[in-house]
Chains A and B, each alone.
Chain A
Amino acid sequence: MTFLETAAAPEKLRRIAIDPVTRVEGHGKVTLLLDKDNRVQQARLHIVEFRGFEAFIEGRPYWEAPVVVQRLCGICPVSHHLAAAKAMDIIAGYAALTPTAEKLRRLLHYGQLIQSHALHFFHLSSPDLLLGFESEVAQRNIVGIAAAFPELARMGVLTRKFGQEVIRHIVGKRIHGTGCIPGGMNKGLKQQERDALRADIDQIVVWSREAVGLVRRLHETDPQFYASFGESRANMMGLVDAEGALDFYHGGLRARDADGGPIFDHADYATYATLLREEVKPWSYMKFPHIRTLGAEAGWYRVGPLARVQIADRLKSEQAEAERQIFLAAGGGQVLHGALFFHWARMIEMLHAAELARDLLDDPEILGAELMADKGPRQEEGIGVIEAPRGTLFHHYKVNEDDVITYCNLIVSTTNNNQAMNEAIRSVAAKFFDGRAVTEGLLNHVEIAIRAYDPCLSCATHALGQMPLQIEVLDAEGARVSQGTKG
């Protein structure tokens, strides 16, 4: 149990619920238990919807998995598509892809990263960053951004659109694409498709670099505030290639402690179950993974942009690596743990993905026709891991002799960050709620800390009228004294 996870006598505390957390994918619920002096005694991020993903997958033929898993998430279907395809490559007996097939998958992945990061920064977080935490609610959403920074909104729309065009050209459709199949790709990139993407990519690189600069300037306006907001010292984990450079698509697992010291390095991700343990807690449907050797108390970790850009030895693209060095310098040699650094790191990654996409579009091999690898013996088990926009994503499957999936275990990026998000909430709650009246602006601070992680809390049901924000305040005896609903 960590600091502020469980109060000694919760029945005597005042309860504040933020339900659901706004501007995150799906529904979340934050509860803060306060004492009579408004001091935080307990803070938790609850996952209120059971996803049931594994049961959804089990019983299906294995070759369906790369397509079916796209329906798990309306925001990052390509990430699930790629991770499942990597696992099914192994099960179907394909050891290595052809160079063209791997490059097409990488380009697809970079397109997904660009569109996801652009959405998050320009449409989820930048309102808070640009317009101030205490600004009017009406100014804190995308419409506010569009009004105050019309060209930034246009930049965000077109950057996201570019990422989706990459996806459309490679998998054939904007959604429900079938590009990746066990052993390779089912369609190549045509010359005219490559040329269309190549015509726009230089502008995307320029805009991405401008976005990095925008976040950097924001941090420079108040370095102490940006560094300490939602700060929680955490272990970090992600994929790196054989040289230690960040690799979004494939590599070995690297974990570092909160000071940057090694925990494990270049670990085969197929051994993840020996490295990580998934703990269940009674108050949340989402599991809490941790590094086995460190235990649950000390072994929780952070994934995603803030972890990735700090555990990697370098980024292989020139401009992004230059920006990463500026970012690291902000820490003065210390690891950066403030939640708002996620936004800076995320934009560095968007620039990195844009540069990598440009290089692939200039590579003649991207137009190759060799799309399927040579087939080897079929396997009964496969594990695929990628660095999805929100962090490390694990797909693990077992199949029977009838090619039916009998076991599925998914550790999605948000699950990997579960404890880290809880810690960020506690950091903010302890700093901003103690001894102060509860205001909408203060509640928004908690949400800002969560959104920095870009969590995906449930997936892809967005029926009209579904997502109000409800705030409930209960007194020390548990009676509701006020409530509010937005949206």
Chain B
Amino acid sequence: MRLVVFGWGNESRGDDGIGPALLRRIEDQHFKAVRTVEDYQLQIEHALDLDDANMVLFIDATRAGPAPFVFHEVVARREITPSTHALSPESLLDICARVLKTPPPPAFVLAVKGESFELGDGLSSEGAARAEAAWTFLRGLMETREVEAWRAAAGSLFDPPVAVIASSAPAFGRP
């Protein structure tokens, strides 16, 4: 199983840095057959990073959705989006299919709710706590890295235990 993990965002923009912070946690574990890709935002050339992937995980902060995070499967979709300067995971999968002329691999999104996106700020206390909660969840996922297990995990969140995580000395915080 070759897993490609995208984590994107700007670490100088508050909770926009949640994606890269979680990506770094994954890198620190040195999982086999896992490739990480960090960038400021998803762009069309990232379709080329999916060339040899059997499964994909997208990790980003989100302004919308429930706290602390949402995990769900995504499929390629021709989206009507107002912006192509930054693509959605669904659009990227669609571009992958069209440019590489191959079906995109199974793909999942881990979207962690952020609170503050100000220039010069680190993670907010809420964002750091949610990232910590997401890491606990993500670590379990990374142990299996099987499509059906991830689908089951995504399904279990539809009846979600999405409690707001209390803020406490976050490992993701920055001085």
Contacts and interface: CB of A to CB of B under 8 A. Distances in A.
Given A460-B13, A461-B10, A465-B64, A23 B99 contact: no
B39 to A, nearest CB: 6
Interface in A439-487: 459-469, 486-487
A156 interface: yes
A156 B65 CA distance: 33
Residue from A71, A143, A461, A463 whose CB has the most chain B CB atoms within 10 Å: A463
A142 B44 CA distance: 9
A357 B10 CA distance: 29
A487 B80 contact: yes
A435 B22 CA distance: 53
A24 B86 CA distance: 10
Contacts of A138: 78, 80
A142 B91 contact: yes
Contacts of A137: 80
A55 B120 contact: yes
B48 A460 contact: no
- Count class of interface residues, chain A: 35 or more
Interface residues of B, number: 46
B137 interface: no
A124 to B, nearest CB: 6
A410 B94 CA distance: 38
Contact of B80 (A68, A156, A486): A486
A461 B40 CA distance: 8
A56 B119 contact: yes
Contact of A460 (B10, B47, B94, B95): B10
A205 B90 CA distance: 31
Contacts of B11: 71
B85 A24 contact: yes
B8 interface: yes
Given A147-B98, A463-B63, A157 B47 contact: yes
A146 B95 contact: yes
B41 interface: yes
7 contacts: A68-B12, A141-B80, A150-B99, A174-B39, A465-B62, A465-B63, A465-B65
Interface in A261-285: none
B27 interface: no
Interface in A126-179: 137-138, 141-143, 146-147, 150, 153-154, 156-157, 160-161, 164, 174-175
A124 B82 CA distance: 10
B38 interface: yes
B63 A23 contact: no
Given A141-B80, A463-B114, A74 B10 contact: yes
Contact of A462 (B65, B80, B86): B86
B81 interface: yes
Contact of B91 (A143, A459, A463, A467): A143
Interface in B12-29: 12-13, 15-16
Interface string B34-66: 000011111111011000000000001111110
A415 interface: no
A180 B86 CA distance: 27
Residue from B8, B40, B98 whose CB has the most chain A CB atoms within 10 Å: B40
B9 interface: yes
A77 B40 CA distance: 10
B125 interface: no
A142 B39 contact: no
Interface of B: 8-13, 15-16, 38-45, 47-48, 60-65, 78-88, 91, 94-95, 98-99, 109, 111, 114, 117, 119-120
Contact of B40 (A51, A164, A460): A460
A114 to B, nearest CB: 12
A468 B64 CA distance: 12
Closest 7 CB pairs of A and B: A74-B40, A22-B82, A469-B82, A462-B86, A487-B82, A71-B12, A465-B64
Nearest to B86: A462
Contacts of A161: 45, 48
A276 to B, nearest CB: 25
Residue from A53, A150, A153, A466 whose CB has the most chain B CB atoms within 10 Å: A466
Contacts of B38: 174-175
Given A52-B120, A141-B80, A464 B63 contact: yes
B124 to A, nearest CB: 13
A74 B41 contact: yes
A123 interface: yes
Nearest to A463: B61
Nearest to A127: B84
Contacts of A328: none
Contacts of B16: 460-463
Nearest to A467: B83
Given A146-B98, A465-B62, A486 B12 contact: no
A464 to B, nearest CB: 4
Given A138-B80, A157-B47, A462-B8, A146 B85 contact: no
